[in-house]
Amino acid sequence: MLSSSHRAVLEAVARRVVPHAYDGTGADVDVVARIEARLAKAPAERVRDLELALTILGSRVAGLLSGMAAPFPHLVADRQDTLLTRWSTSPLTAARAIYQGVRRLVLAVYYTTPESFEETGYLGPLHLRELA
């Protein structure tokens, strides 16, 4: 559903927002695939909003505005963290909104997958639990 460039930006953001999903210390969840599955059921305007946010975040201009010489997916991890931190506190409302929107999407999708429940101590929905 997402283009390869949008997928690359989203994957790079997910690796910074939930790094434990990729380094083997957390639940093994393909965050981007889960997001794409949710987008398949989402209204078209929501998908367009996310695509626009990913286009902006992944652009060379976004990098330059944050003092980086390359687009977000091509930066090394610590530079990606720096860019995200700058966007989280940017005086530009749009930059903060893009950061918060994409970050919240990644967090919501990761932490609502059953594979991540053990990591947080969540026992799952009450009606699905076994009686003690």
Residue 9: what pLDDT?
97
Residue 119: what pLDDT?
85
Residue 57: what pLDDT?
95
Q: Are 71 and 59 within 8 A, CB to CB?
A: yes
CA separation for the pair 30, 34 (Å, rounded): 6
> What are the residue ranges in the chain where pLDDT is below 70?
132
Residue 10: what pLDDT?
97
Q: Are 55 and 6 within 8 A, CB to CB?
A: yes
Residue 78: what pLDDT?
95
Residue 117: what pLDDT?
87
Q: Are 81 and 16 within 8 A, CB to CB?
A: yes
The model's pLDDT over 91-113, given as tens digits with 9 standing for 90+, comes to 999 999 999 999 999 999 999 99
Residue 63: what pLDDT?
85
